[in-house]
Amino acid sequence: MNESKQKNSRHGIYFCSREHKDLGQRLEHGMTILHPSHYGTSTGKYDYRIRALAFYGTACMNCKDNRFPEIQDINHRDVNRKNNNIENPEVLCPTCHRLFHWLTGTGVII
């Protein structure tokens, strides 16, 4: 184990890869020391991604691609990120999401 990496770790815990650290953070019990300080403080105001995927499904609403549901984006049709009424968000693949903003001239997705 690399001792300098363990010393520089905020928690004093060192993982062999980012993937394993992420797995540790997702555990609800046992690895709570790894949770970010904001963990569990959400008001639910910005849970539109979860709600949109549950309501519309994971297929792109434009091209119907569903090969990689975990990377689907949520687009706000009216380009107002504060408008999270279920009629406004739509599920788009990353390509269609960028195309939407390019065609409408409403900004660049980062």
Note the pLDDT tens digit of each residue in 26-50.
665 556 666 666 666 666 666 889 9
Is the predicted pLDDT of residue 67 greater than 90, yes or no? yes
Least Cα distance to 97 among 55, 67, 65 occurs for 65
- Give the pLDDT confidence of 7-18 residue by residue, as tens digits: 566 667 777 887
For 26, 27, 31, 77, the CA distances from 106, given in Å and listed in that order, are 34, 38, 41, 11
Q: Is 76 helix (H, G, I), strand (E, B) or coil?
A: strand
